Copies of this chain bind each other. A is one copy, B any other.
Amino acid sequence: MSIDALLYWVGLAAVAVNALTGVLDAGRKQMDLIGALLVAVATALGGGTVRDLLLDRNVFWVVDQTYLMAALATGLVTFFVARSLAVPPRLFLIPDAIGLALFTIVGTQIALQWHTPWLVASLMGMITGVIGGVIRDILCNDVPMVFLKGELYASAAWAGTLAMIGMQAAGMPSVTASWLAMALVLILRLAAIRYHLTLPAFSPQRDANS
């Protein structure tokens, strides 16, 4: 698999999985069909849109309609399936973690291909991974998960993207480094949810559980 094919297919999978989390979240807020689809589209396409604007690339879903169709189709199916099933809220965290891992790595690779400096590329990856969920949470009137004190989220993404940049600098092929880094982000995030891993907080007393 070439790096371009990986970026295309993993990007499409990330769009679909983020659209799914958008609809699940909208469902908890009792939005109607169009409201849920709008949240799905914004969650699925938001991170990559911000990345493309910052890099001054063509916005990925404006030039290739496939992404928009994938987001709408996933959103529609999820809407009607989830209406007839009771989805436990915690389950929602798993597709959200997958979306975070996929988007972070795709975003970093695209920034590197665009020849940004490495620190900028790592931030761009984290932005791509995180912003879709931030938009979803703002639209659904939640506090964005990424800013909640507690489990690793943006830090898991940042660790993964920095690890990938390091592995590639050490000579590893970019496709291999991408898969390893996606696994790392996913494992870190899921472990953080399971074992409540946290970073040091601002005030000393919160350090107890870090």
- List chain A positions with a Cβ less than 8 A from chain B: 26-27, 30-36, 38-39, 41, 49, 53-56, 58-59, 61-62, 65, 68-69, 79, 82-83, 116-117, 119-120, 123-124, 139, 141, 143-144, 146-147, 149-150, 154-155, 158, 198-204, 206
Contacts and interface: CB of A to CB of B under 8 A. Distances in A.
Say whether chain A's binding surface is mostly helix, strand, loop, or mixed.
helix
Nearest to A35: B147
B56 A59 contact: yes
B35 A149 contact: yes
A62 B120 contact: yes
Contacts of A38: 146-147, 154
Contacts of A33: 155, 199-201
Contacts of A158: 34
A154 B35 contact: yes
A65 B120 contact: yes
B65 A119 contact: yes
